[in-house]
């Protein structure tokens, strides 16, 4: 059984939404949001600028950014934004240039409306003005493969054990299980809490058995 077969029931919802934002170096935020129940896919890349074909070494005026696909029945956009603003410093004097800018790109009028509302709420909670650059979404350029699921890739023994599910490294990008493992190794989830979540995934008995057995026996 391959990972697409296992995860298809989890990822097939037509109600998934996408959030795009930058909050400093994109490695940590991808791990943080990848650990959250309701987040289905994570990926890192570049957004917010005009430089064509940005790369990590030649980013131009883009910002390190992450995108998540999430199920609003489990985690609402409002909660995504609260998590976003509570976990980085959203003021411009913290950043030199645009690479690590606090940035939010909203998909449609509804996300823009929610963002302004939650921003006001979080300014009260944080006790200071939020200077996140908020604008309508235009584009997102996927970063190089080596930056995707960065913390998980620091464990080559684990990647070897995942080989049967991910014969190609690029397959990690869209995997919910890989997103959770990336958050786990960064310390955002405990083993027990992740085992409990996996046991509740509606992916069929065989799929749950494969993932639970693999994770419980994984050598790091």
Instruction: Kindly give the confidence (pLDDT) of every residue in the chain, 220 residues in length, as a single tens digit, with 9 standing for 90 and above.
Output: 667 778 878 888 779 999 999 999 999 999 999 999 999 999 999 999 999 999 999 999 999 999 999 999 999 999 999 999 999 999 876 667 899 999 999 999 999 999 999 999 999 999 999 999 999 999 999 999 999 999 999 999 999 999 988 888 888 999 999 999 999 999 999 999 999 999 999 999 999 999 999 999 999 9
Q: Which pLDDT belongs to residue 51?
A: 96
The Cα 149–Cα 180 span in angstroms is 10
The Cα 102–Cα 35 span in angstroms is 21
Q: Determine contact, residues 116/20, Cβ cutoff 8 Å.
A: no
Q: Which pLDDT belongs to residue 91?
A: 86
The tokens for 165 are 């599910």
Q: Which of 25, 126, 130, 218 is catalytic?
A: 25
Q: What is the dotted CATH code of the domain comprising 13-145?
A: 3.30.1060.10
Q: Which pLDDT belongs to residue 77?
A: 98
Which spans in the chain are helix H? 3-11, 27-34, 77-86, 109-126, 156-161, 176-185, 191-200, 205-217
The Cα 133–Cα 1 span in angstroms is 43
The Cα 211–Cα 196 span in angstroms is 12
CA proximity to 132, closest of 24, 217, 212 = 24
Q: How much is the pTM?
A: 0.95
25 is catalytic: yes
Q: Which pLDDT belongs to residue 102?
A: 96
Q: Where are the domains of the chain?
A: 13-145, 148-217
Q: In what order do the strands lie in the sheet with 141-142?
A: 133-136, 102-106, 17-23, 63-70, 39-47, 141-142
């Amino acid at each position: 059984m391959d990972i697409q077969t296992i995860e298809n029931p989890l990822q097939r919802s037509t109600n998934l939404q996408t959030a795009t934002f930058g909050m400093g170096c994109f490695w940590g935020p991808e791990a943080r949001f990848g650990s959250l129940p309701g987040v289905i896919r994570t990926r890192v890349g570049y957004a917010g600028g005009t430089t064509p074909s940005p790369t990590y070494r030649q980013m131009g005026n883009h910002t390190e950014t992450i995108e998540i696909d999430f199920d609003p029945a489990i985690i609402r956009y409002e909660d995504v934004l609260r998590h976003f603003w509570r976990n980085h410093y959203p003021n411009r004097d913290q950043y030199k240039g645009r690479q690590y800018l606090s940035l939010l790109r909203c998909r449609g009028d509804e996300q823009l409306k929610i963002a302004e509302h939650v921003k006001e709420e979080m300014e009260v909670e944080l006790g200071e003005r939020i200077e996140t650059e908020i604008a309508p979404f235009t584009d997102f350029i996927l970063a190089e493969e080596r930056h995707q699921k960065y913390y998980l890739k620091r464990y080559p023994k684990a990647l070897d054990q995942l080989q049967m599910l991910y014969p190609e490294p690029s397959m990690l990008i869209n995997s919910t299980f890989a997103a959770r493992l990336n958050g786990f190794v960064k310390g955002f989830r405990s083993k027990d809490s992740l085992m409990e979540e996996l046991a509740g995934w509606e992916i069929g008995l065989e799929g749950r058995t494969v993932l639970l057995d693999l994770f419980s026996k994984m050598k790091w």
